[in-house]
Structure 1
């Protein structure tokens, strides 16, 4: 009886060792095929690489990159997937953490697509190991469905969250020399253009009156409710219910597009009248002309303020004050 138990134990050890060796051989065989790119799989190789037992992770991208299938997302993501596989294979990994990357195209894996009942592509499946230090009790594959364009960084971050804790190979994008050369060329062109045009452009850029005009226009636009119109998509004008047109909307939370322009024009006239009284009129040498200018600009100021108050009263009917003549 003791001899029988020893024989059974020996056979189990031999079987385990042979299974482990076969599993290791399978991993090394597939890894030799994916030094710089994911393994191109078929139905049979997909079944083989994901079969149990396995002491390695497997990430398989089920895609339909052929042009006849019209999967634009599949073709756009393929270079990103190859970048992930290349970065992992070339990077340093923790001891014992083994992973294979494969690509199963619909043209070569129709049986697998039917077996998995896939209606869309691409789909990523990550199979955890079933034996070894990183084995999981639930060995069902983890699935990532693509809802839209995604970068290699986003998918790689998701994959790292599914792997055991520890350092992972960094995702390394190759240097885009064309973009680098283009950037340097554009920069040199911009510097050259600035050097040539600076004698003509700098006086304009440094012109205080120009900046004052731009600032004043911006202030008038935004204080009159220009952004409110863009956010609320307000109508330009509206009917008054009697066959006419209403230019001002009642209430403080409503306004029309035309109303904004009228208020901006009022603010502009008030601003120019104030500037004229403060800066232009004192420089007039003739006393009579100066008095006439004061009367004119003062009348403009009074009239515009009166009209502004009437607009305010239109929007708020309970406002008790007014300023003649409006």
Structure 2
């Protein structure tokens, strides 16, 4: 018995020393794996529990994500390259292990038990576990973004800067697109330049733009102004009852008739008389609509002869 007591007393310091070194050895193990992979460690439920178990004299940053297509997590796929880049940068930039940080990735497929224990229903989620022992020990906190600035605030020691690799695919694609555009313009220039420099083309486009922007078409198109409205009794009201509204169905009918009916007439004399008649109708109707609108809005500054003051009886009707 005394022999076993003596052996036990002798082994107790060694056991305590081994327990004390277990956290450091665990960090060295994970650190070597991270350096070998040059990226955050791929974890499962068991590795997640072992990596984050206390006591630990190192910090842990873990991304919980769902990358399989069946989950439809577009944000996970967008964030994953940035996370891998950060892990690669950290592995190469902190070769002396001064920050004592281990980075890992836990996919939902391999960590369903962890997701359930954390009651997570969305992804991606980034968790940071500070050391539980040592001078930098802190209580666990939820992570903040942006990732690099967030880690720099929480991790002790130097923080290596992000070094992005050269995107050769983007450079080649941009170069090919520019050269292709220049080549296409050079080949098509003899055929396209005469069209672009045509005065008739620019005159036609200018006239169309002037008519669209000065005839009220764009206003009607944007504001969805109605031509007529119901009177609430099953009939049609040709005059809007508001302070700032006015229908133009009568004027539109006169304009359409002048544009469609008159050109189909074969007799030049009849066509001339119809043109003059419809022109007078448009003048009278436009003047009538303006005068009607001035009855509702006395501050309206525009008018058109021959009807300057409107019809007094119309004000009672409105």
Q: TM-score range by the shorter chain?
A: 0.5 to 0.7
**Per-residue CA shift, 1:78-121, capped at 9, x if unaligned?**
33332232233233699832322111123322332222122333
Partner of 2:63: 61
| Normalised TM-score (structure 2) | 0.63
Unpaired runs of at least 5, structure 2: 1-11, 260-274, 309-318
1:90 is aligned to: 92
Q: 1:312 corresponds to which residue?
A: 290
- Partner residue of 2:32? 32
Partner of 1:129: helix, strand, or coil? Answer: coil
CA deviation vs aligned residue, 1:65-86 (integer Å, no higher than 9, x gap): 3445554544454333322322
Assess if the C-alpha contact under 8 Å between 2:152 and 2:159 holds in 1: no
Q: Deviations over 1:139-186 (max 9, x none)?
A: 123146xxxxxxxxx743563475359974343443333332222222
Whether 1:141 aligns to 2:123 is: no
Contact 1:38–1:101 (Cα < 8 Å) also in 2:
yes
Given the alignment, which residue of 163, 177, 184 partners 1:193? 184
- Which residue does 1:239 correspond to in 2? 229
Any conservation in 2 of the 1:63–1:106 contact (CA below 8 Å)? yes
Give the distance between the partners of 2:230 and 2:70, measured in 1 at CA: 59
Q: Deviations over 1:180-239 (max 9, x none)?
A: 222222211111111122223223333455445444544554553736854x5x354442
SS at match of 1:169: coil
Q: What's the secondary structure of 1:53's corresponding residue?
A: coil
* Structure of larger gyration radius: 2
The separation in 2 between residues aligned to 1:94 and 1:238, in whole angstroms, is: 80
Maintained 8 Å contact 1:93/1:169: no
- Per the TM alignment, residue 61 of structure 1 is displaced from its structure 2 partner at its CA by 1.4
Paired with 2:153 and 2:166, the residues of 1 have a C-alpha distance of 28
**Shift in alpha-carbon separation, 1:228–1:79, aligned structure 2, 3 A:** farther
Q: Sort the Cα spacing of 1:32 and 1:303 in 2 relative to 1 into closer, same or farther, 3 A.
A: farther
Q: Which runs of 5+ in 1 are unaligned?
A: 1-10, 145-153, 270-295
Cα shift readout 1:287-324 (whole Å, capped 9, x = no counterpart): xxxxxxxxx99x97x98776554443344424675412
SS in 1 for 2:105: strand
**Residue in structure 2 matched with residue 3 of structure 1 by the alignment:** none
Aligned to 1:226: 218
Residue 181 (str. 1) matches residue 180 (str. 2): no
How far apart are 1:39 and its partner, in Å? Answer: 0.7
Structure 1 residues 45 and 165 mapped into 2: Cα distance closer, same or farther (>3 Å)? closer
Q: How does 1:1-326 map to 2 (within 5 A)?
A: 19=20, 21-35=21-35, 36-67=38-69, 69=71, 71-91=73-93, 96-136=98-138, 139-143=139-143, 155-156=146-147, 159-160=150-151, 162-163=153-154, 168-208=159-199, 210-211=201-202, 213-222=204-213, 224=216, 226=218, 229-230=221-222, 234=224, 236-241=226-231, 243-244=235-236, 246=238, 250-252=242-244, 254=245, 308-318=286-296, 321-324=303-306
Partners in 2 of 1:312 and 1:16 — Cα distance?
Answer: 99
Distance, in Å, in 2 between the alignment partners of 1:228 and 1:175 is 52
Cα distance in 2 for residues equivalent to 1:196 and 1:111: 63
Aligned residues between the structures? 266
